[in-house]
Amino acid sequence: MRKNRTIELLAPAGTIDAFWAAAEAGADAIYVGLKHWNARAYARNFSIKECGYLVEWARHRNVKVYVALNSLIRPDELNDLTKTLKELSAINPDGLIIQDLGAFHAAINIIPHIPIHLSTLAGIHNLEGVKAAAKIGAKRVVLARELSVEEIISIASQSPVEVEVFIHGALCYSYSGFCMASSFRGGRSGLEGRCAQPCRLKFRQGKAEGFFLSCNDFSGIRFVPTLKNSPVAALKIEGRMKSAEYVAEVVKAYRMVLDAETPSEKAEKIKGAEEILASVPSRHQCSGYFSEDPSREILTPHRSGTSGKLIGTVKRKLKSDMMMVQVLSKIQIGDVIRPESSRHREEPIFKIKEMYSETGNKIAQASSGEIVYLEHTPDTPAGTKLFRIGSDYLNQKELWKKIKKECNKKSIRQLKENSSYSGTISVHELLSDKKSLLKKIGKNLILKVASTKELPAAFNSPAKWVILKASIANLKELANTRLIKAQKERIVLSLPSPFLGKQEWEAPVKWFVSKGFLLWEVNNLAHFEILERAAGDKEIGVIGGPRLNVKNACSMEFLSQLGCNWVTLSPEISKKELKELSKGPLPALPIVIVFHWIPLMVSRLKPKLMERKAFRSHRGDGYYYKRSGQFNLIFADSPVSWFEKISELEKMGYKLFEIDISEAPWSLHKDLPRLLSGYKRLRSDKPYSEFNWGR
């Protein structure tokens, strides 16, 4: 039985043996994913029925279980989502981890008794965001990983809800919830848990070559005593794709330090924990954003970011599923292997199931220097390096038998029969039917620009609205610009995201509202908090921006209830999803971006790259790097254009179209006449990408 502790140690589990290992090693809580809708889609994950057993088994040990529903929800998945929420009501987990605002809206209406934890993918990185999350009903906020210890403690000390922070595991180059690189290159969205990790690739820029965007792993073990004495509610270990062996060792290390009391004991336990963590398969460990120089600590272009222990190399492939291996370190049946080839791509992970000696005898293990043959392996070329990243920790079938046997069958049955949910709620009941609004408006163009210098040309365009990035520099210039009433009525000020808590936004927003600027675009939950305080009793119009990642009607409904009359759909959306979305009630007017060059990654990390000069992976994918204020942006090598799709979009019912030239590797101001002509002629000038349109 766990003692009452001041701070929660939260562990990952993608498999049953990892779940067992986490509990045995001392985790206070464990988070798991379902088969669908979680940000680790490639983990094995669990069914609803399996989660029911886990929740019941863990509850008797005073261990909490949180279920991750933290991926974006597609428009055709809402009915299945409501069904899943009803089933979760029956097993009653200790919390749900949610990213998508539509899933959030559905959950608070269908299962209000289950606490919602707002996922790190929701992009909460300041106090205003935490306060906004609390107002909409979140009981806990998982802060973005890109924060320092000081920023975390400052937010937690003023937060109206629990705050959870990552303490160990993998780091992404981009801010949490702001990366579209995997989706752009292959339709595998990181926001849907299917990231292909393009940031891990080797790139070349001119004569320079390296892993410019690949991040080391984060270990915050030395900061545990500081965070333990802070208002932070939980420390999260990342790794639902990790083996049970890894989970057990990492949880053990952090448990040691958390339970230490005296200064001398803490120092001793930290030293012991660091030795444990050094032995687990991982990339090079660093202090991440807790360090004084995160870019230097996290980014090491000379290192591939390889995880695991090198155990051998492939001498040659004998047939499609058998490889001949030179053993460099002890291996055995059950080891989980990650290949690293010269093909500069993620090779499939496999488990050693059958192994033979040079003489053809079946063997269970092999030592350094031996030649072995592995069956049931992926097709990888000779020279491929093999890294051990884990092994079978416990027999999974036996563990399930043990857990089910220990569970009180009567309690399991009662959980299903005595669900806190009663009645039925359909998707239609969660929406306000405003589809008729589309019939009341005509086709309109919206133009988004980068600076006040572009306003004259924008005002001379046929755009109904002109959206201006509300950067501090732009606001200062706009304050000194004379505009007539008609121009003010056409301007929409777009609040930027991410932005750090030290920046002052409420005062300038309040000033502009008082001067008659009554149209605003929000791109983060924090913006609602700022606008609410700044607007006072003034009635303002609000557009939900592209960084809110909206794909479904429930998300639109939720934003509508927060005051959004219009919602810009996610840049990741596809033709199929647009068609599906247009069928149902639309609680707010949808805006479709038909031209943009939005950055695929937004980071606090400064890579060793030159601006305005393309860099490419060995697969040929091209990118540009740009420094913008305190952020580092990575762009694709071409913009996205749907000019040729506008007729199809109109047939679906969409009438509000946006050209966004506010973000690009360089200014697009001189390209505006050409783009307006392309919009009018329904023609896209090459080079351009259709992003996910046909995927």
For residue range 290-302, what is the model confidence (pLDDT) as tens digits? 999 999 999 988 8
Tell me if 575 is assigned to some domain. yes
Burial of 401 by CB count in 10 Å (0-12 exposed, 13-18 middle, 19+ buried)?
Answer: exposed
Say whether pLDDT at 545 is over 70.
Answer: yes
Q: What is the pLDDT of residue 102?
A: 96
Model pLDDT for residues 494-513, shown as the tens digit of each residue = 999 998 765 678 899 999 99
Average pLDDT in the 261-279 region?
Answer: 94
How many angstroms separate the CA atoms of 555 and 562, rounded?
11
Tell me if 547 is assigned to some domain. yes
Q: Does residue 231 contact residue 159 with C-beta atoms inside 8 Å?
A: yes
Q: Does residue 171 contact residue 193 with C-beta atoms inside 8 Å?
A: no
- Where does a domain end: 337, 359, 391? 391
Q: 354: which strand partners?
A: 375
Q: What is the pLDDT of residue 379?
A: 87
Q: Name, in order, each residue with C-beta under 8 angstroms of 527's C-beta and a sequence gap of 6 or more.
A: 128, 132, 495, 497, 520
* Burial letters 598-622, b for 16+ CB under 10 A, else e: bbbbbbbbbbebeeeeebebeeebe
Percent of the chain with pLDDT over 70: 93
Average pLDDT in the 127-150 region?
Answer: 96
Same domain, 44 and 115: yes
Task: Tell me the residue type at 364.
Answer: A
Say whether pLDDT at 695 is over 50.
Answer: yes
- Where does a domain end: 379, 409, 439? 409
Model pLDDT for residues 16-39, shown as the tens digit of each residue = 999 999 999 999 999 999 988 776
Sorting pLDDT into bands at 50, 70 and 90, what band is 439?
A: low
Same domain, 344 and 454: no
Tell me if 655 is assigned to some domain. yes
Domain of 126, in residue numbers? 8-171+217-261+396-409
Q: What is the pLDDT of residue 435?
A: 56
Number of domains in the chain: 3
- State the SS3 of 615-654: EEECCCCEEEEEEECCEEEEEECCCEECHHHHHHHHHHCC
Evaluate the CA torsion angle 283, 284, 288, 290 in order and state its sign: positive
Q: What is the pLDDT of residue 1?
A: 40
Average pLDDT in the 615-619 region?
Answer: 92
What is the domain-level CATH number for residue 365? 2.40.30.10
Average pLDDT in the 112-125 region?
Answer: 96
Q: Which two tokens stand for residue 289?
A: 């954003």
Phi then psi dihedrals of residue 18, to 5 deg: -70, -35
How many angstroms separate the CA atoms of 79 and 76, rounded?
7
What is the domain-level CATH number for residue 445? 3.20.20.60
Q: What is the pLDDT of residue 344?
A: 63
Model pLDDT for residues 94-110, shown as the tens digit of each residue = 999 999 999 999 999 99
Sorting pLDDT into bands at 50, 70 and 90, what band is 42?
A: low
Say whether pLDDT at 306 is over 70.
Answer: no
Same domain, 160 and 81: yes
Same domain, 374 and 405: no
Spatial CA neighbour of 176 closest among 146, 216, 217, 211: 146
Q: Does residue 78 contact residue 49 with C-beta atoms inside 8 Å?
A: no
Q: Which two tokens stand for residue 224?
A: 């545990």
Same domain, 105 and 62: yes
Percent of the chain with pLDDT over 90: 77
Q: Give one word for 482, left, alpha or beta, with left for phi > 0 and alpha for psi -120 to 50.
A: beta
Tell me if 301 is assigned to some domain. no
Say whether pLDDT at 225 is over 60.
Answer: yes
Q: 257 in helix, strand or coil? A: helix
Q: Which two tokens stand for residue 505?
A: 């936004």
Q: Does residue 175 contact residue 603 with C-beta atoms inside 8 Å?
A: yes
How many angstroms separate the CA atoms of 44 and 207, rounded?
41
How many angstroms separate the CA atoms of 583 and 580, rounded?
6
How many angstroms separate the CA atoms of 695 and 688, rounded?
16
Q: What is the pLDDT of residue 243?
A: 86
C-alpha 386: how far from chain center: 29
Average pLDDT in the 329-355 region?
Answer: 84
Q: What is the pLDDT of residue 363?
A: 95
- Using DSSP bridges, classify how beta strands 335-340 and 385-391 pair: parallel, antiparallel or unpaired: antiparallel
Q: Does residue 151 contact residue 130 with C-beta atoms inside 8 Å?
A: no
What is the domain-level CATH number for residue 79? 3.20.20.70
Q: Does residue 304 contact residue 342 with C-beta atoms inside 8 Å?
A: no
Say whether pLDDT at 406 is over 70.
Answer: yes
Same domain, 341 and 403: no
Same domain, 456 and 533: yes
Q: What is the pLDDT of residue 319?
A: 76
Same domain, 470 and 405: no
CA distances from 56 to 51, 403, 619 (A): 9, 9, 48
Q: Name, in order, each residue with C-beta under 8 angstroms of 642's C-beta and a sequence gap of 6 or more.
A: 592, 593, 594, 595, 649, 684, 690, 693
How many angstroms separate the CA atoms of 268 and 260, rounded?
9
Tell me if 616 is assigned to some domain. no
CA distances from 429 to 3, 96, 258 (A): 43, 22, 46
Tell me if 480 is assigned to some domain. yes
What is the strand order of the sheet 622-628 is part of?
Answer: 208-210, 203-205, 615-617, 622-628, 631-636, 601-603
Same domain, 107 and 221: yes
- Where does a domain end: 375, 409, 443? 409
Tell me if 197 is assigned to some domain. no
* Burial letters 149-185, b for 16+ CB under 10 A, else e: bebbbbbbeebebbbbbbbbbbbbbbbbbbbbbbbbb
Is the bond preceding residue 687 a cis peptide, omega within 30 degrees? Answer: yes
What is the C-alpha end-to-end distance of the chain, expressed in Å?
50
Same domain, 231 and 156: yes
* Burial letters 436-459, b for 16+ CB under 10 A, else e: eeeeeeeeebbbbbbbbebbebbb
Half-sphere exposure of 529 (CA within 13 A, CB side): 17
Same domain, 402 and 387: no
Say whether pLDDT at 2 is over 80.
Answer: no
Average pLDDT in the 660-665 region?
Answer: 98
* Burial letters 348-374, b for 16+ CB under 10 A, else e: ebbebeebbeeeeeeeeebeeebebbb
How many angstroms separate the CA atoms of 166 and 120, rounded?
9
DSSP assignment of 303-369, as one string? Answer: S----SEEEEEEEEEEETTEEEEEESS-EETTEEEEEE-TT-SPPPPEE--EEE-TTS-B-SEE-TT
Say whether pLDDT at 332 is over 50.
Answer: yes
Q: Does residue 206 contact residue 613 with C-beta atoms inside 8 Å?
A: yes
How many angstroms separate the CA atoms of 164 and 155, rounded?
11
How many angstroms separate the CA atoms of 324 and 317, rounded?
6
Average pLDDT in the 672-678 region?
Answer: 97
Average pLDDT in the 531-543 region?
Answer: 93
Q: Does residue 179 contact residue 498 with C-beta atoms inside 8 Å?
A: no
Same domain, 230 and 249: yes
Say whether pLDDT at 610 is over 90.
Answer: yes
Sorting pLDDT into bands at 50, 70 and 90, what band is 428?
A: confident
Residue owning tokens 């351009």: 688
Tell me if 573 is assigned to some domain. yes
